[in-house]
Each structure stands twice: as structure tokens, then as C-alpha cells.
Chains A and B, each alone.
Chain A
Amino acid sequence: MKQAELLIIGGGPAGLCAAISAASSGASVLVAERNKNLGGQLVKQTHMFFGSEKQYASTRGIDITGILLHELNKYKENVEIMTDTTIVGMFEDGVVTALHKEDNYFKIKPNAVVVATGAFEKALAFPNNDLPGIYGAGAVQTLMNVYGVKPGNKVLMVGAGNIGLIVSYQLMQAGVQVVAILDAAPKIGGYLVHASKIRRMGVPILTSHTVKKAIGKEFLEKAIVCQVDDKFNQVEGTEMEFDVDVMCISVGLTPLNELLSMRGCQMKYVPQLSGMVPLRNDNYETSIENVFAAGDTTGVEEASAAMVEGYLAGLCAAAKIGHMTDDFEERKNDYVKQLESLRSGPVGKHILSGIEQIVIKGEQYV
């Protein structure tokens, strides 16, 4: 059995920031990441980020991981990082099971855990959606930006949220033609500055449209799309055909929460947070003592918010297991303020209305 003071599950922006703030508080930290690389979603984000300076706005996502690792390295005597290590179970007695590489199972007994496992992509149901050439946006981005492989030549993007818009732009940067972006919603979901930047490359954005079916023998050859009415029903006679060899599905993410459910944390379905999320207090501690959560796993949002949540959860988890720092209140207030500032706009208000439903008040321990 491996001992660890604080185990952080997931080495994305939330997990890395939790590690930084916990290690800087004096806790010894073990970070477990199932991939070979740290950074989570950041490793494929070649575009500049929004937010403010404190969350590295205007820096490209791919470069933020390096900045965070540099920061984490300052506390290296307190930090152990295990990549290629998937946490497969969290049990009632506090034991956590892990799988390193293919066949090396082992147990960990941490004093506290921060779950920062992120989110996974939603699928879209339509006839023949299993044809080769139909990918999730994450796969397309990984192929292009991590491995340098073009996913195809002509792409239909399904989903006009930020991810659909950004991946479309990156496809064009890679020299791939994007024939159109469609979205069933009546309005573009992503930031309009992103939408405008793609529109002026000549790519039409078709709102109130969906995929009717995919056509192809061995692989995708055509996509049939049609309009939807205000109740999202397909409208007969509005079909359009696109000759494409790739369809990229980008209809949103949903929190990756199996470990939290398995551990018995109270969960709730909150549409504003994109799925089942754990109830928690202001310190990001779930209904199970010493189990904390941060980042997209507590509600799909942005890396900027995920990082600040990570810092906050790491700080509070460290304090809970005996590493209370003198400047605890000051740091906590700073993080709370940053989150308030990020969430004060129209998108943030929507997120906040979701968060209100999961925060358990009056269970403060500090």
C-alpha cells in the first residue's frame, strides 16, 4: 500500500493547480494522471485563452501546462507525479486503487483526495453515426495538434459552442476545408469573437440545423442535414447535402464523475453544469469528508475557472489535513474573488445558477 498525504486525481489544469497550492502549503502531494502527459485538455489547445492575466489569458493553452509545471517544480520535494496511472476505484475505507501502465495494480491510502478528472464528450444520435470519419472534437484535436495528423479533407462541424468554433479554426489552420458549422440551437453558443473569426474565413454557421443522417459504405461520404423548429423537431423538406469525409461532433462535454459516485458522494443532475455533479461546500469538499473535487468534474466550465478552483481545493484540502498556512484566509479570498470576476458575465451567471444548487451551506470547518 502506497502512503500519500494528499492524492490528486487528474493532471489537467485543475489538478496541477491543486497540487501547486497544496504543496506550497506544505502538504506532500501525489498526482496521478492516466495519460502519458500532464495538462489534460490543455495539451491540444493551440489557441490563445480568454480570462485575465492571473489565469494566463492571451497565452496559448499548450504553453500554460509548462507554466504550471514550472511553478509546481518549486515545491518538488513535496510532490510526486505518476503519469500513465489511472485511478480505477475509490472505496469506503479510504483506499484508492490505481493501475500503472497495463498490468501494475496497486493501492493508495491518502489522508485526503482532490478529484480533478475533467469531463468527457457527449455523443449525438443519428443514423450511421458509427461510420469511420465521424469523430468527436477531442479526437480531431488530438490527431491534429498532438500527433500532427490531418483527420481528413472536408469537414462538417456539428456544434457551434466554443469548442466547435475553435476546432473549426484549427482545422483551417491545418489546411483542412470546413464546409459549414451547424448547431441545433437558434443562437451561436460560443463566444461571438470566435464565430466572427471563422465566418470571415468564409465558413457559414447554420443555427437551427441538425444532422439527419450520415451516408457512406466503408466510410463517411455525405452528410444530410436539415432545419429544426423551435422545439428541435426536424423540418421536412429542408434537407441539404454536404460531400464530406469527416464529421466532427462537438455537442458539449459532461463531467467525468464515476469515482465520486463510486465513493458515495452525493450527486445531483444540474443542467447548467452539464451533468451529474457532486454536492460540495465552499471549500470544494464533497459530502464525504476529505474528498474534494475541482475543475470540469464539478461542472463543465473553462480552464480559467478550473485552475482557480484547483488552487482553492488544494489550499483547503491541505488545511484540512494539518497544513493551514498563515495567509490561508487571504489566499482563499483572492481565489473566491477571481472566480466571482470570471463568473460575473452572462455565461457566468448561468453557471452560478447551477452552482447555487450544489453548494451545501453551513458546513464550514475552518
Chain B
Amino acid sequence: MFEKTGIPSEEMIMGKFPPIERINKGPVAVVECYKEIPCNPCETACRFNAITIGEDINNIPVLSKDNCTGCAICLSKCPGLAIMVIDGSKSDTTVQVKLPYEFLPLPTAGEIVKGLDREGRNLADVKVIQVQNPKSFDRTPVVTIEADRSIMYKIRNIRTEAK
């Protein structure tokens, strides 16, 4: 179905999430790149050797959950915007999620925005914690949101209201 709709199955998604123990320890990347394409900037961008593609740039990236520091550098480097960072160390009831977001208006810290799933459906209102947009991110800002744990495997996008 994924190849007909662009929507990954739950099984595919869960296969990319590090175990909950790792998520609860601190920020870690979720690399949702499911198909072989000639691409490897994620591997090149990571300073911690946490993403491996290898000699053949068509290989699917493999994340080392132990090497990954959740620094989020790779988020803005991935042309497929396929990577997010999840952090379960801050609270027992919520997680913080960092998402690449290339739309205007950019939200600001403290704002409440719509949290969307992988089909663009509204899941819940979520709070924006931080918006990073330094020059080195080259026009791919990274937005950190706080979401309830009940939607941690579903949330993948946000929508801001036009101002």
C-alpha cells in the first residue's frame, strides 16, 4: 500500500523507532527512509557516525541508537525531510518531537499548533517549545513540539493557522 499512497504502515513506522527505553533516555533520531534511493547526506551530515549507508549510496540508512545524540543536524540536511528527533526524557506523560518544517508562517515558541499524523489528519493541539532556523540549516527550520505520549508514534507534522 505504501507505494500506492505514500503512507507507511504501522509496522514500517515501528520498525524505525528506537525502543522506548532509548527514547526515555534522551533525544534520538527516527529515520523514516524506507526505499532505496541514491542519496546519503544524512550519513555525511552526522558528526557522531550514527547513520550508516555505506559504499553503495542506494542503501537504506541504518541508525545507531547508541551513537545518536539527537543533535538534529541531519533533519535539515535530508532532502526527503524523512528524519525527526524524539525525546522522552523530559516528562512521563509527554514527549518532545523535533520536526523539519518548511512552511510559512513559522510558529513561535509557546504557540499552540495543530499536530498532524502521516496522512495530514488532525491529532491534537500541541505546544511549540522551540523554533530553530540558523543559517546552517539552509532554510529548513526545525520546530520542537511537546505532544502527549498517546500520539508519540502518530504525530509527524504540524499546521499553523494563517496569521
Contacts and interface: CB of A to CB of B under 8 A. Distances in A.
Interface of A: 47-53, 57-60, 172-173, 175, 186-188, 191-203, 205, 207-208, 304, 341-348
Given A52-B40, A196-B118, A202-B121, 4 more contacts: A50-B79, A51-B39, A188-B3, A344-B57
B118 A347 contact: no
Interface string B1-22: 0111111100000000000000
Enumerate the 8 nearest inter-chain pairs by beta-carbon distance, A residue then B residue, closest first: A202-B120, A193-B80, A345-B58, A195-B6, A58-B41, A48-B79, A199-B6, A50-B39
Interface string B30-49: 00111111111100110000
B111 interface: no
A344 B36 CA distance: 10
Q: How large is the interface on B (under 10, 10 to 19, 20 to 34, 35 or more residues)?
A: 35 or more
Nearest to B34: A192
B35 A192 contact: yes
Q: Is the interface of B mostly helix, strand, loop or mixed?
A: loop
20 contacts: A48-B77, A48-B138, A51-B39, A51-B57, A57-B40, A58-B79, A192-B6, A193-B32, A193-B34, A193-B78, A195-B6, A196-B32, A197-B80, A199-B120, A200-B120, A205-B4, A342-B38, A343-B38, A344-B56, A345-B37
B4 A187 contact: yes
B79 A205 contact: no
Given A48-B79, A58-B79, A193 B33 contact: yes
A51 B120 CA distance: 28
B56 A200 contact: no
B7 A196 contact: yes
Most buried by B among A60, A194, A345: A345
B119 A200 contact: yes
B79 A47 contact: yes
Given A57-B39, A188-B3, A347-B37, A172 B120 contact: no
A196 B7 CA distance: 6
A193 B56 contact: no
A193 B156 CA distance: 13
A58 B56 contact: no
Nearest to A346: B36
Given A50-B79, A58-B77, A341 B6 contact: no
Nearest to B7: A199
Contacts of B45: 58
B59 to A, nearest CB: 9
A346 B34 CA distance: 13
B103 A198 contact: no
Contacts of A201: 120, 157
Contact of A192 (B2, B116, B120, B138): B2
Contacts of A59: 138
Most buried by A among B37, B45, B77, B78: B37
